[in-house]
Amino acid sequence: MLESLQKMHPQAECELTFETPYQLLVAVILSAQCTDKRVNQVTKVLFAKCGTPESILALSQEGLEAEIKSCGFYHNKAKNILAATEIILREYGGVVPKDRELLEKLPGVGRKTANVVYAVAFGGNAIAVDTHVFRLSHRLGLSEADTPFGVEKDLMARFQEKDWSHLHHLLIHHGRYLCKAQSPKCGECLLTKVCAYYQDNNKESKRSK
């Protein structure tokens, strides 16, 4: 499965644009229920003006909201970013902590966000379960768990730890570009022989004939 995913998505990696772990943290918080493309458009302007914790914190709530408004849910996102930034400056000297448990204690940072920052910014082994990873894990028969954490545990049990982070990016790219929620491009997929979703739908189509 990993080999097939790699063949289909050889360039799979984080598509958020950032230069520092702090910028990645902000970008991931903004990406909740928003596309990476939109986030990159927003952060390109934001980080050019305010790319450090100090400069972000210097913005007012209203000022940050104005910068990130097009990402949606901008009030809560701005509130969380400012609160997390204050803690990073006060408790960690302006440096984003590498420890996932410490990351999860920051406002607006759940397990998925912590896993992304831990894996992408610090090279850790982690599987961040977003909507794409959750959907594909069920379609491919990799998990039947009904929570992101349950899916994460199932994936960690099935794949070697050294592959976790790359698997996360491969599944995201596959879900984003081929195995879409609506009208998945099964004809272009190399996983149909092992895909529970494809096999089930083929059985139904054969029965209908």
Q: What is the chain's Cα-based Rg?
A: 19
Based on the residue annotation, tell me whether 185 is a catalytic residue of this protein. Answer: no
**Catalytic annotation present for 200:** no
**Phi, psi (deg, nearest 5) at residue 69:** -55, -40
Find the angle CA(14)-CA(9)-CA(194) to the nearest 5 degrees: 120
Q: Which of 36, 37, 69, 130 is catalytic?
A: 130
- Residue 181, helix vs strand vs coil: coil
- Extract the tokens encoding 193: 């022989």
- Chain center to CA of 138: 17
Set 44, 69, 112, 163: catalytic member? 112
Q: Cβ neighbours of residue 194 under 8 Å, at least 6 residues apart?
A: 1, 140, 141
The residues annotated with a catalytic role in the active site are 112, 130
